[in-house]
Structure 1
Amino acid sequence: MSALRTIRCNPQVLCRSLIARSASSLTDGETRLKRVLQEKFPRASSLKVVDISGGCGAMYEIHIESDEFRGKRTVQQHQLVNQALKDEIKAMHGLRIFTDVPSK
């Protein structure tokens, strides 16, 4: 039975794998992206990178809060993140970006 069919027939499998995944360490891809973003945004007060493709590295979700975004529109903030990850993005299927400015 395929993995997708197993998940459709037994959604608890997905829940258990997500719980196990959240308790484990970062994947190699998450670690790589986090390192690049920490270098590009050294003043980031919060940074979270999650492989939302199930661990294969095809799609990531990034949450970053940095003072470097202050005074910039959301689209400009996202452009900065895209620019920082331009080499890594080439191998991805998708990227979800959430940016914010720390409250004073």
Structure 2
Amino acid sequence: MFPVAGFLRMNQGVAVRLLRGLSSQTDGEIRIAQVLKQKFPSASSLRVVDISGGCGAMYEIHIESDEFEGKRTVQQHQLVNQALKDEIQGMHGLRIFTQVPKH
């Protein structure tokens, strides 16, 4: 059992994940991951996390793809934003972490 003070200090998304089970994904996480897999088929790593507590208001995305090669970080993030333009309309926030795979 978690001490109450420590539990309340936890990131809300992490706390909800602990309550509902680490392996379960929200519908929003699944939908966003599907869109990104389609847009970035060569992605070697992709992780989408609902950090709003499961309500779909804010997500964190970690994506590693060869398609980012030679692009500045802002350009990489623009590609992700463009891929998610329809989904972003219903969000309050989005954290994006992009990376080029190390070969």
Normalising by the smaller structure, the TM-score range is 0.7 to 0.9
SS of 2:44's equivalent in the other structure is strand
Q: Partner letter of residue 52 of structure 2? A: S
Q: Considering only aligned residues, what root-mean-square deviation do their CA atoms show, in Å?
A: 1.6
Alignment size in residue pairs: 95
Partners in 1 of 2:41 and 2:49 — Cα distance? 19
Q: 1:21 to 1:63 in 2, by over 3 A?
A: farther
Percent of paired sites with the same residue: 72
Contact 2:66 2:101 (8 Å CA) reproduced: yes
- 1:11 Cα offset (Å): 3.3
Question: What's the counterpart of residue 68 of structure 1?
Answer: 67
Question: What's the counterpart of residue 101 of structure 1?
Answer: 100
Per-residue CA deviation, residues 18-56 of structure 1 (Å, 9 max, x unaligned), is 423452311000000000000000000000000000000
SS of 1:56's equivalent in the other structure is coil
Contact 2:43 2:64 (8 Å CA) reproduced: yes
Give the ranges of 4+ consecutive aligned residues of structure 1 lying more than 3 Å apart after TM superposition. 11-18
Question: What's the counterpart of residue 5 of structure 1?
Answer: none
TM-score, with structure 1 as normaliser = 0.84
2:77 is the counterpart of 1:83: no
Q: Partner letter of residue 91 of structure 1? A: G
Partners in 2 of 1:103 and 1:21 — Cα distance? 34
Please point out which of 5, 24, 29 is paired with 1:11.
5
Residues 18-57 of structure 1 correspond to what in structure 2 (within 5 A)? 18-21=17-20, 23-57=22-56
TM-score, with structure 2 as normaliser = 0.84
